Chain A
Amino acid sequence: MKQTFQNILKGQKKDGSQSQLFILTIVIFSAFSILKPHVFFTLLNIKSMGFQIPEIAILGMAVMLSMITGGIDLSIVSIANITGLTTAFMITQHPASTGMSLNLWIAFSMFIGLLLGLLCGVVNGFLIATVNVAPILATLGTNTLFNGLTVGIRNGESISRLPKQYVRIGNGTFLGIPMPLILLLIISILVGIYLNRTGLGLKTYLVGANRSVARYSGIEDKRILRITYLGSAFLAAIAGLIISARVASASPDYGADYVLLSIVIVVLGGVSPTGGFGKVTGVIMATSILQIILTGFNDLSFSQFFYLICQGLVLITVIGLNISRSKNPQKISTYVRLRRN
């Protein structure tokens, strides 16, 4: 199994090329379908993947935004948790005395949660653009702080037993399509439009390509950075909502592994860790690939730990191939670049 998979990888001509990733997705999907047709290739299974993929893909997009500017946002998971926790908390505080319907209250709670997430993004943007702290360092600090705040306020406890109206967002379907997937679609289109069709998006790429040159070209680099980290916080917040809705609970420590996983996805999806390039579809496909592998392994009764090994192997193999093929191997550590900006 792993053998076939690695052969597929070796056939890849250019990592990051969208069509290549697409082919890889199809191939891996088909492989698993052939291996375990009755378990893997079922509507139920596919649907379940459709529920799990969106939150990680959206987190991946959050990291992608920051990576395009040559930085990195390590605080996305803690922001997601802050949003999820705040929303969950407020929902459970629904004042039955007022006449406000539950649905309206839920919407309001989600709004507050998102607002808090955005606030975190403002903090990040301030540290990175105004104080000029290296992004990896700044978000390392804020991640600890945000995480610590949620743990502290809640005393480490999570909130569960959320009303089904909310849970439906993460588990319901609309016309047979999982709700999270619909959200993912909408978000991807919006992010895609932002990056590819707006002036801000283009400026984001340019700031990532070379912040000094962007400044010399009259581009407001500080503003772009602030907006970027606001955007990544926003996406993280949405992911947080989806997660808490899907899992029907919110905890301060959920998804600690997700930060590194998001980086894996983004790098696989074709975002260069040194900034300047990146595509939304790449992120989605990379997420799908990994999720398909996870599900497939499950269905093949492989230990879930094989998935971990696979993640690591995939990352190293793909990047290694990428580097050996490119004429300019990116030997400079990401973080040198992050600091020089």
Chain B
Amino acid sequence: MNIPGKKLLLRNEMMLVAAILILSIVINIKSPGFYSFSTLFDLCRASYVQLIFGLGVLIVIISGGIDVSFPMVGIFSAYTTITIMDKLHFSQNGIIIPILMAIVIGVILGGFNAFAIAVLGIPTLIATLGTAGIIRGLMLAGVGSRLIQDLPNGLDHLATSTLIQIRNSGGTLSRLHLLIIPISILVLALGWILRRTIFGRSIYALGGGIESARRLGIPTKKLQVRIYLLVGGLAGLGGLMSVVLARQADPYSLAGSELDTIAAVVLGGASIAGGYGSVFGTVLGVFLIALIRDNLILLGISGSWERAAVGALLIIGIVTQAFIRKMKKRETQESHAEVQK
């Protein structure tokens, strides 16, 4: 039940919760009616894709690495899946097969990363930079570059399936998307894996120090392979969900979103150096960014400022984290003063 840097994270996560609460209260004051199921459901829907990607990013960052290839892996997997289904005309009504297909393709692509990082020993940023380019090029050159607007029936249906429908006082419908279920399961499962399995603890160990982890007997290379395969699968899933929710497969979508997702994960408390981070924090980070991004209008700020708001939020978050770290360091140093040289 241990999350490294618990005290630090707790402070960080609490601050995120506080930020979310304060922000939503402010928005509600400015624009009453904000506190409604409709908002909550919309917020959820807006977070799904980034959350799935974010979980993958979290795992890589905890292990001490960084992955910038996941949007490409995602869109490649999704686009290829849709294209294959199109060309081969199968499983038009199902959703299990396309989901599995996207995940499998994602895992295979994750294998590229695993090879470059674990086998060739290339630093993670560079390796994933390279694979991102290769994957993007392969997709656009090999699979296709046109926009696909007709999704197979099953997936299209998924895009509009709701779990709960609530009729508001105004007569409109608030819809909670069906995806909330599988995504919640995913979040809980990954959280459990990170906290309660040897695999999960080894990921933290790897982030704590690759040499120390190795001396402990952790098979670091095998572990890295498993990490990048897992993250590839997650990216594939995320890509497909992104296509489903957008109701079209655009091979040029998702490009450039890697830095934003990394930002959300870092905001959620993961340390860029590795060894720290939690699923809960990532959920909060993604949520907070979605909150700001999609509700600026309610504060009277036009939508074109959304990126700037996210940027400002990010900087505030990073600076705050830096201060907390500095204070914590000072606390530790003072209590060990007599022990030091």
A: residues with CB less than 8 A from B are 74, 127, 131-134, 136-138, 140-149, 151-152, 154-156, 256-257, 260, 263-264, 267, 273, 303, 305-313, 315-316, 319-320, 323-324, 329-336, 338-340
Contacts and interface: CB of A to CB of B under 8 A. Distances in A.
Contacts of A138: 315, 318
A145 B116 contact: no
Contact of A132 (B121, B125, B307, B322): B322
B133 A335 contact: no
B304 A155 contact: yes
Interface in B104-140: 116, 120-127, 129-140
B238 interface: no
A260 B68 contact: yes
Contact of B134 (A313, A331, A336, A339): A313
14 contacts: A137-B272, A140-B262, A140-B314, A141-B263, A141-B315, A149-B308, A152-B307, A257-B256, A264-B133, A273-B126, A316-B120, A319-B127, A335-B273, A339-B272
Nearest to B309: A148
Most buried by B among A154, A305, A324: A305
Interface residues of chain A: helix, strand, loop or mixed (majority): helix
Contacts of A264: 129-130, 133
Contacts of B138: 305, 309
B129 A308 contact: no
Contacts of A307: 137
A324 B28 CA distance: 58
Contacts of B312: 145, 148
A309 B133 contact: yes
Most buried by A among B65, B138, B145, B273: B273
B307 A333 contact: no
Contact of B133 (A136, A311, A333): A311
Contacts of A133: 318-319, 322
B250 interface: no
Contacts of B131: 312, 316
Contacts, number: 188
Contact of A155 (B125, B135, B266, B302): B302
A329 B211 CA distance: 13
A273 B304 contact: no
A314 B23 CA distance: 46
B7 interface: no
B164 interface: no
Contacts of A143: 259, 311
A147 to B, nearest CB: 6
A309 B306 contact: no
Contacts of A331: 121, 123, 210
B310 interface: yes
Given A132-B322, A134-B273, A309 B137 contact: yes
B288 interface: no
Contacts of B272: 134, 136-137, 335, 338-339
B127 A148 contact: no
A148 B66 contact: no
Given A137-B272, A147-B311, A267 B126 contact: yes
A308 B137 contact: yes
Most buried by A among B66, B124, B259: B259
Contacts of B305: 148, 151-152
B310 A152 contact: no
A144 B273 contact: no
B141 A332 contact: no
A315 B273 contact: no
Given A134-B273, A136-B272, A316-B131, A310 B137 contact: yes
Given A133-B322, A151-B304, A306-B137, A320 B314 contact: no
Interface string B207-241: 00010000000000000000000000000000000
Instruction: Sort A-B residue pairs by CB-CB distance and give the 6 closest, nearest first.
Output: A148-B308, A145-B311, A308-B137, A148-B307, A312-B133, A309-B137
A148 B311 contact: yes
B174 to A, nearest CB: 30
A36 B322 CA distance: 55
Interface in B131-157: 131-141, 145
Contact of A303 (B130, B133, B141, B309): B141
Contacts of A340: 273
